[in-house]
Amino acid sequence: MDDNAAGYAALDDLLEKMRRVEDIEQSDTEACADALRAKTASNIAAQIDPYGHAWPPTKDGYPALVNAMNAIKIVAEKTTIKFSVDGPEARHHIGNARGYHGGSYKQVGKHAQAWQAAKVAAGVPMVNTGYRRALIPFSQLPGPFKAIIRKVLIERFNRIFKEAA
């Protein structure tokens, strides 16, 4: 019978690596955050929200929020990835830019109503003045973001197993 001590030692080493999850998680979380940052930048360039819905163009017909990635922070902390949006882009993200607070254009504040009345009097067709252009996920992580996290973690987990083999 062969001595399997070297094989058992390698297996023990692999199990020890798997037990030291805190050594792996920070680098894995950072890799996931980097991949999610790239996905968010591609979503903004494609003018879609994290859930795959297209953003409406601006009133002038141009793409909206083309530099929004400068206002987005995606940070990895231990096993958590935190998303945040700052500046005027945050108002677009939640849908209250330019006085729009949800609902129809008739349900906005009196200052916005006066602005809208002036626009209508000038012959400008009235449409909702603000749109929700989501930049980062809200309460639920969308499918494409889950797929990115799954892919990154599986690649990193497979690398650990290949090292042990």
| Residue 51 sits in the same domain as residue 74 | yes
| Residue 25 sits in the same domain as residue 49 | yes
| Residue 82 sits in the same domain as residue 26 | yes
User: Average pLDDT over the chain, rounded to whole?
Assistant: 78
Name which residue leads in pLDDT, 136 or 161.
136
- pLDDT tens digits, one per residue of 45-54: 999 989 888 8
Element holding 41 (H helix, E strand): helix 21-46
* CA-closest candidate to residue 126, choices 149, 98, 145: 98
- Contact by Cβ (8 Å): 85, 71: yes
pTM: 0.67
Query: How many domains are there within the chain?
Result: 2
Which domain does 120 fall in, by range?
98-130
Q: For residues 43 and 49, give the distance between their C-alpha atoms in angstroms, rounded to a whole number.
A: 6
- pLDDT tens digits, one per residue of 73-100: 999 988 889 999 998 888 878 777 665 5
| Residue 62 sits in the same domain as residue 140 | yes
- pLDDT tens digits, one per residue of 134-148: 889 887 889 999 999
